Chain A
Amino acid sequence: MTASAPSAISQPEIGRPRTRKEDARLITGRSRYTDSITPQATLHMYVVRSPLAHATVKGVDKSAAERSPGVVGVYTAADLGVEAIGLPCAWPITPDMKSPQRPLLANTTVHFAGEGVAVVLARSAAAARDAADLVEVDYDLLEPVLDMEAALADGATLVHPELGTNENATWVFDSAAAGTGGDVAEAIAAAEADPDSVVVRRRFLQQRLIPAFMEPRSCLADPSGEQLTVYAATQVPHILRTMTTVTLGVPESKIRVIAPDVGGGFGGKIGVLPEEMLCVTLAQKLGKPVKWTETRSESLLAAHHGRDQIQDITITAKRDGTITGLDVRLLADMGAYLGLVGPGVPILGAFMFNAIYKIPALKFTCTNVFTTKTLTDAYRGAGRPEATFAIERMMDELAVELGREPMELRQQNWITHEEFPFTTVAGLTYDSGDYEQATSQAMATFDYEGLRREQAERRERGDRVQLGIGISTFTEMCGLAPSRVLGSLDYGAGGWEAASIRMLATGKVEVITGASAHGQGHETAFSQIVADHLGVPFEDVEVLHGDTQISPKGLDTYGSRSLVVGGVAIVKAADKVIAKARKIAAHLMEASEDDIEFEAGRFSVRGTDQGRTIQDIAFAAFMAHDYPEGMEPSLDSDCVYDPTNFSYPHGTHLAAMEVDTDTGRVELRRYVCVDDVGTVINPLIVEGQVHGGLAQGIAQALYEEATYDEQGTLVTGTFVDYTLPSAADLPSFDSAIVSTPATSNPLGVKGVGEAGTIASTPAIVNGVIDAVRHLGVTNVEMPCTPQRVWRAIQAAAGKATQETPTDTHSPGAGLGSIDPNNPQGEAL
């Protein structure tokens, strides 16, 4: 391995557009998703769910179901003795946060439509489902609680009467109190008193979304053997193991959790589920494997939702464009219960409202509210898309108020590249970035000036189809998270990640990571990192993950953390392997350790042609016939890495939106984005993450909304009604990457998983409004359906449209796009 040493010398693996290792099994059907695993004698569980949002359970008649063919048992919470058990919430955001019990199955009251009341266990999934239809539940209807503002009013029906309020918690960040900036109340008072300042107030609505991963959730609990093995379609096998112990009391050492192939998550598989706990409970009770796989309709109904905020934003600025203060007041819908990190999701946005701008005073006040809807928790971006939407919409509103060009106004207020590292009004230190670079490249690719000219011409001509230009210059905080910061936010875990590297006798390398992939391409990207660091062929690296027996330590995958935290842990473990190998190499070559150089997988003695490959050293360590005194005969190394800072990817996204002013129909004509994600390990994977993220963010802007009717029933309970975009609904995006490496980690990486989703929603909506602003339109609620756009145009023209009842269209009711006069939401 001397002359023809690894190709890594001429072509580093990092930065190479490697096609993915994991594809081979997935394109041939050799996949292993949880529902595809069925040990002998598996029993199948089906959940009997409440069709009502809020009701007292008066009785459950199981007799007919129990007689149904193939049924092994029908169980309520009382039958299983689990009435007192509650699922954990790991993020008590305030000391006095109100936290209701989240039962495995409803005890006496159901709190949302879709909540489990009983389970049927049968020899086949079909038999279980048949029998579930025979379970008779007697309900007494209670008043649903659907509107957040109404829920907080005096005399409101309480979701959980024992809490005495529908308010879960109120969390405040005040830059004056924190010492990181000025006082917002003073900034507003000063601006109101000053004729040379403006105060702009807006209300934005973040509609309720559904993560809608393609693989429905599934769990198999197998009690055979000494450890109980739980297979789960989860993003968080390690957290699931710990939380199973916390919830059910099964010793952690007696549980093995395996996340096999997992078909997407987007935050939606971060939870600890009642169904998972029921599978474990039933498997233990019956001594047989128990499997549950949800239908898509169940998934839309009962898997956690995301977003759902009312945002009241006030921004103050001088007439010259300088921003002087930002006040943020949120109501965030928790739904009926608290998810694993649900209450903290809006708080993750608290630090991002100031975004890339130098805002001297910030106050953030968020009140979380209980309603009788499906609970909300993390969905791609988790708090940060909401924040980015609000500030980027406000920048456009401020520009209009001041009569300024919106990009120019942003430029006036953003942190310039010379100012990094920059500590923001939220107290975060942005380590690196170059907003000018990303923006100028995006504007050039987009032909910003040309499109502005076309827009002016079309306005002047009064064209039926008008052009709008949407801007989003975003940043985000990634790489969750420094454990001390999480501690200061009362989060119930750390933010470290673990890695191990095993050098096998034959020179192959096993890399064990605590990050748990579900589509991100860890196996490929981590192989590239290790191939470069150890100087071994890419093909010789095997990445193992998603099984607590193989990877005993980890905090899993969410918050764009896998590469930024997990990848760095791998680098540090590799450094330890090299340090051990160096000692053995020095010993074998009878040289001083100080004279050993390591490059491209080879240890050599400085100034000689003597050398040993890392594979030679691995074999020598395995043989252990000759190694230094005081050392163990092994190169294997572990690392637990706790990051010191977040990372801050950023980018400039531009959307050319065409709006038919007669019909309200919106078309995305062109989308250009330039993202700075730091060092790129694999440009192919980065591009894929950006594309997929854009599609989800655009879907929030234009297509998706979880809607409840006035009884609290989810109206969008199938893929017919909850409209994920198809290939025909989206254009090809023009995405590019620039790179200012992060200075906070040795790889220089920043994370890319959530960027597209965070950035794209405001770009689209700003573009839609920009297209019709000259007609007097100042806002269009999301999703910007033809109906909504058309109504906004009519309203701006002073024309009446049919009234829509406030009870289905109020913000807390999921914004209700279902108009009883026009249930299909068609353009009128």
Chain B
Amino acid sequence: MTQVRVTVDGVEYVDDVEPRLLLVQYLRERLGKTGTVIGCDTSNCGACTVHLNGRSVKSCSVLAVQADGCEVATIEGLAREGELHPMQRAFNDNHALQCGYCTPGMIMQAIDLLGDNPDPSEHEVRHGLEGNLCRCTGYQNIVRAVLDAAGKMKPGAGAVPDDAAGIASGASVSGGGE
């Protein structure tokens, strides 16, 4: 067992974990963060995408011990004081989800994408989401939602809650899980 100290959605946790425990298992099984889900075992589907120190990672491809000393943001921590993140709102507004299983990962990846490229083209959005599979929507409304959120999150558009802006742009890039 190895001790890890991880801040998840703003709360600090100290836990003993097996060295082989995946971050996604730690989130789901130890912390009860079941909003993050598992869709495959080969890191293809992206359903488990979270942010590690502000950058998106597939949490099935990161060991919990690699997250020691890191900040993790999940879908459960995006909304602040009842206010949805603009990306969450855009997914609802644009009917960008059906069964909802890919949605947490898709939203986390989309926020990361806009952090890199705040004003993407449709082509750039499609390629930026390539690592996240959806079986329900045909992606069209997901792409529309991301473009919609991009418009609303532009500086001056006033749609970004203070803290959420920090998640999108990334507070730090150290200690990543790759």
Interface residue ranges, A against B (CB under 8 Å) = 19-20, 22-33, 35-36, 38, 124, 126, 212-216, 261-264, 266, 295-297, 518-521, 684-685, 687-689, 691-696, 718-720, 724, 726-728, 730, 732-733, 756
> Does the CB pair B100–A22 fall under 8 Å?
yes
Known A-B contacts: A27-B103, A35-B37, A261-B99. Give 5 more (CB < 8 A).
A26-B103, A27-B88, A29-B75, A215-B39, A691-B137
B104 within 8 A of A: yes
Chain B residue, CB-CB nearest to A38: B29
Which residues of A have CB within 8 Å of B137? 688, 691-692, 695
Q: Would you call B42 and A720 a contact (CB within 8 A)?
A: yes
Query: Beyond A28-B76, A36-B34, A719-B45, is A214–B39 a contact (Cβ under 8 Å)?
Result: yes
B72 on the interface (CB 8 Å rule)? Answer: no
Return the 10 tightest CB-CB contacts between A and B, nearest first: A29-B35, A519-B99, A26-B100, A263-B101, A695-B138, A691-B138, A36-B34, A719-B44, A519-B98, A296-B40
Picked from A28, A521, A724, A727, the residue with its CB within 8 Å of the CB of B142 is: A727
**B136 in the interface (beta carbon within 8 A):** yes
Given contacts A19-B93, A28-B84, A214-B99, whether A296 and B45 have CB atoms under 8 Å apart is yes
B 136-170 to A, binary, CB cutoff 8 A, 1 in contact else 0: 11111111000000000000000000000000000
A20 and B92 contacting across the interface, CB-CB below 8 Å: yes
Q: For residue B107, which residues in chain A have a CB less than 8 angstroms away from its CB?
A: 27
Instruction: Give complex CA distance A263, B137 in Å.
Output: 12
Query: Does the CB pair A33–B37 fall under 8 Å?
Result: yes
Q: Given the complex of chains A and B, what is the CA–CA distance between A19 and B144 in angstroms?
A: 14
Contacts of B135 in A (CB 8 A): 212-214, 264, 266, 692, 696, 724
Kindly identify which residue among A296, A521, A727 contacts B42, using a CB–CB cutoff of 8 Å.
Answer: A296
Residue in contact with B98 in the complex, picked from A126, A296, A520, A718, CB distance below 8 Å: A520
Q: Which residues of A contact B39 (CB under 8 A)?
A: 214-216, 263, 296
Contacts of B88 in A (CB 8 A): 27-28
Chain A residues within 8 Å of B102, by CB: 214
B: residues with CB less than 8 A from A are 25, 28-29, 33-42, 44-45, 47, 74-76, 78-79, 84, 88, 91-93, 95, 97-104, 107, 122, 125-127, 129-143
Q: How far does the alpha carbon of A128 sit from the alpha carbon of B142 in the complex, in Å?
A: 37
A587, B104: Cα distance in complex, Å = 53
Contact A26 B97 (CB under 8 A): yes
The answer to whether B76 touches A684 (Cβ under 8 A) is no
Residues of B within 8 A of A35 (CB): 37-38
- Contact (Cβ within 8 A) A688 B141: yes
Least CB distance, A715 to chain B, in whole angstroms:
14
Tell me if B130 and A261 are in contact (CB < 8 A).
no
Whole-angstrom CA separation of A532 from B75 in the bound complex: 35
**In whole angstroms, what is the CA distance A25 to B35 when docked?**
9
Does A684 contact B33, Cβ atoms closer than 8 Å?
no
Structural contact, A691 and B75, CB atoms closer than 8 A: no
List B contacts of A688 (CB < 8 A).
Answer: 95, 98, 136-137, 141
Whether A31 pairs with B35 at a CB distance below 8 angstroms is yes
CB atoms of A519 and B34 under 8 A apart: no
CA distance A617 to B93 in the complex (A): 35
Q: Inside 8 A of B101's CB, which chain A residues have their CB?
A: 31, 33, 213-215, 263-264
- Which residues does chain A contribute within 8 Å of B129, judged by CB atoms? 726-728
- Give the docked Cα–Cα distance between A297 and B137 (Å): 23
Q: Is the CB of B139 within 8 A of A730?
A: yes
A54 to chain B minimum Cβ distance, whole angstroms, is 26
Rounded to whole angstroms, the CA-CA distance of A730 and B122 in the bound complex is 11
Q: How many angstroms between the C-alpha atoms of A126 and B29 in the bound complex? A: 11
Chain B residues whose CB sits within 8 angstroms of the CB of A214 once the complex forms? 39, 45, 47, 99, 101-102, 133-136
* Chain B residues in 8 Å Cβ range of A31: 34-35, 37, 100-101, 104
B97 touches A685 (CB 8 A): no
Assess A264 versus B136: contact at CB under 8 Å? Given A23-B92, A296-B41, A720-B42.
Answer: yes
Can you list 28 residue pairs at the A/B interface with Cβ under 8 Å?
A19-B95, A23-B91, A23-B97, A27-B88, A27-B103, A28-B35, A28-B75, A29-B36, A29-B75, A31-B100, A38-B29, A214-B39, A214-B45, A215-B99, A263-B39, A263-B100, A297-B42, A519-B98, A521-B98, A687-B141, A691-B137, A691-B139, A692-B136, A718-B40, A720-B42, A726-B133, A732-B122, A733-B140
Residue pair A29, B104 in contact (C-beta under 8 Å): yes
Contact across chains for A728 and B35 when beta carbons are under 8 A apart: no
Return the chain B residue nearest A33 by Cβ.
B37
Compute how far the CA of A28 lies from the CA of B25 in the bound complex, rounded to whole angstroms: 19
Instruction: A328 to B107: give the CA distance in the assembly, Å.
Output: 47
Closest to A295 in B: B41
In whole angstroms, how far apart are the Cα atoms of A756 and B44 in the complex? 25
Bound state CA distance, A72 and B102, in angstroms?
Answer: 34
Q: Which of A38, A520, A692 has the most CB of B within 10 A?
A: A692
CB nearest neighbor in A for B9:
A29
Are B91 and A264 closer than 8 Å at their CB atoms? no
- How far is B26's CA from A124's CA once the two chains are assembled, in angstroms? 13
B26–chain A nearest beta-carbon distance, Å: 12
In the bound complex, residues from chain B placing their C-beta under 8 Å from that of A26 are 97, 100, 103
Chain A CB within 10 A, most for which of B122, B136, B138, B143: B138
A571–B125 CA distance with the chains assembled, in angstroms: 42
B138 touches A733 (CB 8 A): yes
A682 to chain B, nearest CB (A): 9
Q: Tell me the complex Cα distance, A333–B19, Å.
A: 45
User: B87: nearest residue on chain A (CB-CB)?
Assistant: A27
> CA separation between A69 and B145, bound complex, in Å?
47
Residues A36 and B99 in contact in the complex (CB < 8 Å), given A28-B88, A727-B126, A732-B143: no
Beyond A214-B47, A296-B41, is A27–B122 a contact (Cβ under 8 Å)? no
Find out whether the CB atom of A29 lies under 8 angstroms from the CB atom of B133.
Answer: no
Measured CA separation A29–B102 after assembly (Å): 11
Known interface pairs A214-B47, A214-B134. Does A30 touch B35 (Cβ–Cβ under 8 Å)? yes
Q: A38, A297, A727: which contacts B130 (Cβ < 8 A)?
A: A727
Q: B44 near A718 (CB under 8 angstroms)? A: yes
CA distance A489 to B133 in the complex (A): 38
Cross-chain contact A264 with B98 (CB below 8 angstroms) = yes
Q: Give Cα A296 to B37, complex, Å.
A: 13
Name the residue of chain B whose CB is nearest to the CB of A698: B138
Does B99 contact A518, Cβ atoms closer than 8 Å?
yes
B92 / chain A contacts, CB cutoff of 8 Å: 19-20, 23-24, 27
Chain A nearest CB: distance from B50 CB in Å?
10
Contact of A694 among B33, B100, B122, B138 (CB under 8 A): B138
A720 touches B37 (CB 8 A): no
- Whole-angstrom distance between the Cβ of B106 and the nearest chain A Cβ: 9
Kindly list chain B residues whose C-beta atoms are within 8 Å of the C-beta of A30. 35, 76
A694 to B78, CA, bound (A): 32
Closest CB-CB distance, B20 to chain A, in whole Å? 8
Give Cα A723–Cα B153 distance, bound, in whole angstroms: 33
A33 contacts across to B, CB distance below 8 A = 34, 37, 101
Q: In the complex, what's the smallest C-beta–C-beta distance from B110 to chain A, in angstroms?
A: 10
